[in-house]
Amino acid sequence: MSFYFCNLTSDFCNRLPLGLCFSVVLFNLCACDVERRRSDAELGLNPQQAAGRKLYDNYCDRCHEPYSSRGKKGPSMKGIYKRQYMELSGLPVNDERMADIIKNGRAKMEGFGRVMTDQQIKELIAYMHTL
């Protein structure tokens, strides 16, 4: 005997087995959390910030979520410069501290001082100010 999801107003779901209907609903709920990636122009990024965004995508995004409060391996960078202190370490949030962490790493984070120039680090920090 098959169970049917019958509390939805859609006639479509009334005809589907519960498992299939649940999968469709779950997929739609997950898709609601995904936001289309906005362009540099839509974000109002200047050339320095746009260059920093490319660096963020290449080096930081795998561990740090830029526009969500959900973290990945590392803490989210959303609103990092709106905070006085970093959430995990309690260190002050400023350009000097961020540059040091980007260059040398911290705790579980590798440093990028060997792969990024000082100019690239400045571009990355300029972008992080927009998060």
The phi and psi torsions of 46 (rounded to 5 degrees) equal -80, 170
CA distance 39 to 113: 28
Full set of structural domains in the chain with CATH = 1-34 (no CATH), 40-128 (1.10.760.10)
pLDDT of residue 68: 72
Residue 96 burial by CB count (10 A; 0-12/13-18/19+): exposed, middle or buried? Answer: exposed
Q: How confident is the model at residue 5 (pLDDT cuts 50, 70, 90)?
A: very low
pLDDT of residue 2: 47
pTM, entire model: 0.69
pLDDT digits (tens, 9 = 90+) for 10-68: 555 555 565 554 554 445 545 444 567 788 889 999 999 999 999 999 999 888 877 77
pLDDT digits (tens, 9 = 90+) for 78-127: 899 999 998 878 889 999 999 999 999 988 889 999 999 999 999 999 99
